[in-house]
Copies of this chain bind each other. A is one copy, B any other.
Amino acid sequence: MTSESNGLAELEGRIKKDIPLARHLGLSLASYDGACITLNAPLDGNSNHRDTAFAGSLDAVATLAGWSLMSLMLKELGVDGEVVIQNCTVSFVRPVTADFSARCWKPAAHAIADFAAMLLKRGRARMELEAIIGERLDPAVRFFGRYVAILKD
């Protein structure tokens, strides 16, 4: 899929329009293959006193990876809803010393089906997503976020 056909370019524009800090993160929604979304961000502008990536930047990019994936899933389900984050846990396993990517994967099909059923029944539903920065099997940052989708009236 191209970024036009899967809505990635439109979503990136919306994030940068609505969230001023996202512009300062320098992020781009790089790819989405229907199962995994990848957001890129530069070290430059996101560095700290040790010239590694600032934890707040890593948090923010991972948070937006999950938020973006949830937004794309709502679109694929054909529903109009809002997404908010309820809580997150982040482990900073090792320093990030270069430009970085956050990747977030869809959960298993049965979890998406349960989520969709709850969303249509109750008007809101939660989903837990994992995002990582670095290699999937050896991440520099592990992020678990619980997001809530709320159907619009």
Contact = CB atoms under 8 A, between A and B. Distances in A.
A48 B21 CA distance: 9
A56 interface: yes
Identical copies in the complex: 2
A85 B52 CA distance: 12
Interface of A: 14, 18-22, 24-25, 45-50, 54-57, 59-61, 63-64, 82, 84-92, 95
Contacts of A48: 18-19
Given A88-B90, A91-B87, A47 B19 contact: yes
A25 to B, nearest CB: 7
Contacts of A46: 20-21
